[in-house]
Amino acid sequence: MNIDAHQHFWVYNEREYGWIGPQMGVLKRDYLPEELRPLQEAAGIGGTVAVQARQTVAETRWLLALADQHPFIRGVVGWVDLRSPALRADLEGLAHPKLRGVRHVIHDEADDRFMLRPDFVRGLGLLAEFGLTYDLLLRYRHLPLAVELVARYPRQRFVLDHIGKPPFQDGGLEPWATDLRRLAAYPNVCCKLSGLASEVDWTRWKATDFAPYLDVVLEAYGPSRLMIGSDWPVCTLGAGYGETMGIVTDYIARLAPAEREAILGGTATRFYGLDSLSTRRPW
In this structure, what are the phi and psi dihedrals at residue 85, rounded to the nearest 5 degrees? -65, -20
In single-letter form, the type of residue at position 60 comes to T
**Would residue 13 be called left, alpha or beta, if left means φ above 0 and alpha means ψ between -120 and 50 degrees?**
beta
Residue 22 lies in a domain: yes
Q: Please, which residues have CB within 8 angstroms of residue 142's CB and are 6 or more apart in sequence?
A: 106, 107, 112, 115, 164
Identify whether 35 is part of a domain.
yes
- Give me the number of domains the chain comprises: 1
6 Ramachandran zone, left/alpha/beta (phi>0; psi -120 to 50): beta
- Any idea what the CATH number is for the domain that residue 199 is in? 3.20.20.140
Q: What pLDDT was estimated at residue 111?
A: 96
Residue 283 belongs to some domain of the structure: no
Residue 276: its pLDDT value, please? 57
- 281 lies in some domain: no
Pair 100, 272: CB distance under 8 Å: yes
- Mean pLDDT, 10 residues at a time, the chain of 283 residues: 98 94 96 98 98 97 98 98 98 97 96 97 98 98 98 97 94 95 98 94 92 98 98 97 98 98 98 69 37
Answer whether residue 282 is part of any domain. Answer: no
What's the whole-model pTM score? Answer: 0.96
Q: What is the dihedral of CA 221, 141, 138, 88, to 10 degrees?
A: 100
Q: Do residues 45 and 4 touch, judged by C-beta distance below 8 A?
A: yes
Domain assignment present for 226:
yes
Domain that holds residue 158: 3-276
